[in-house]
């Protein structure tokens, strides 16, 4: 999978630089935690990684913008939990539907299967990469693991508490077809069990993971590297 790569990136909201000359690379199965005091630019760095912000200088290479996911974005509250998750998993659900219809077409007498063979093989490979046939089980496990297992999926998202909506969004991110995870304070509103589940999912994620958190125990469990944006010690030495 493509890496998340920052090369000499600088960014500011005002005339004072917030992030200056940042270079880092997060490759497959690397989980980099960005730490630093409030106002040091942690969330800004993540928004640069997802393409929500454009750097003033330098360049950022990453998986397709649609493949990057970040906690903290808004979710449609006027739909049901099931509808929200269906929308997140739309690519997988659509591919499964196409695969079923294609199988029926091939089974019909007189259908030219040769014309469908290449598309069939390509679609099968995509479904396997998406772990599509295990989607119902993964959905159930994600909701249960994040403390939403007893919540009626017919409920409107708007009826959930802020903490529940945050956990629902995390479940959606883990179920999406994204190649990379970009998570801003993902342990907020999580109890110990949900935090343990999330750490397991992040450790097993096959692509790059970039996140922020103030939870030191979570960092120890998940991170393979830490990037500290606190420049005060270096300024003191200078």
The model carries a pTM of 0.86
**pLDDT mean by block of 10 residues, the chain; 238 residues:** 91 93 95 94 95 95 61 66 94 93 75 70 90 95 96 95 93 88 93 96 94 96 95 62
Rounded distance between C-alpha atoms, residue 26 and residue 202, angstroms: 14
Helix axis angle, 162-175 relative to 135-145, nearest 10°? 150
Beta pairing class for 31-35 and 19-26: unpaired
Q: What pLDDT does residue 111 have?
A: 55
Question: Which pLDDT score, from 0 to 100, does residue 63 have?
Answer: 81
Task: State the pLDDT at residue 66.
Answer: 41
What pLDDT sits at residue 113? Answer: 62
The two structure tokens encoding residue 190: 């999580």
The pair phi, psi for residue 147, each rounded to 5°, is 80, 20
CA distance linking residue 127 with residue 123, whole number of Å: 6
Q: Given its phi and psi angles, is residue 53 left (phi above 0), alpha (psi -120 to 50 degrees) or beta?
A: beta
* pLDDT on residue 233: 64
Question: How much is the pLDDT for 72?
Answer: 47
């Amino acid at each position: 999978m493509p890496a998340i790569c920052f090369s000499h990136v600088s960014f500011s909201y005002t005339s004072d630089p917030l992030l200056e000359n940042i270079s880092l690379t997060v490759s497959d199965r690397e989980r980099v935690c960005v730490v630093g005091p409030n106002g040091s630019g942690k969330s800004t760095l993540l928004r640069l990684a997802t393409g929500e912000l454009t750097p003033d200088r330098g360049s950022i290479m990453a998986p397709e913008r649609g493949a990057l996911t970040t906690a903290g974005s808004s979710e449609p509250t006027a739909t049901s939990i099931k509808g929200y998750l269906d929308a997140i998993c739309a690519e997988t659900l659509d591919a499964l539907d196409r695969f079923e219809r294609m199988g029926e077409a091939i089974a019909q007498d007189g259908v030219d299967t040769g014309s469908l063979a290449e598309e069939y093989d390509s679609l099968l490979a995509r479904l396997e990469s998406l772990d599509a046939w295990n989607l119902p089980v993964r959905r159930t496990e994600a909701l249960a693991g994040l403390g939403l297992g007893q919540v009626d999926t017919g409920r409107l998202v708007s009826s959930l508490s802020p903490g529940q909506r945050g956990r629902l969004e995390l479940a959606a991110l883990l179920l999406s077809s994204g190649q990379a995870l970009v998570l801003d304070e993902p342990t907020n509103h999580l109890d110990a069990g949900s935090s343990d589940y999330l750490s397991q999912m992040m450790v097993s994620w096959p692509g790059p993971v970039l996140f922020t958190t103030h939870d030191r125990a979570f960092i120890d469990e998940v991170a393979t590297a830490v990037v500290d944006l606190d420049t005060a010690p270096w300024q003191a030495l200078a």
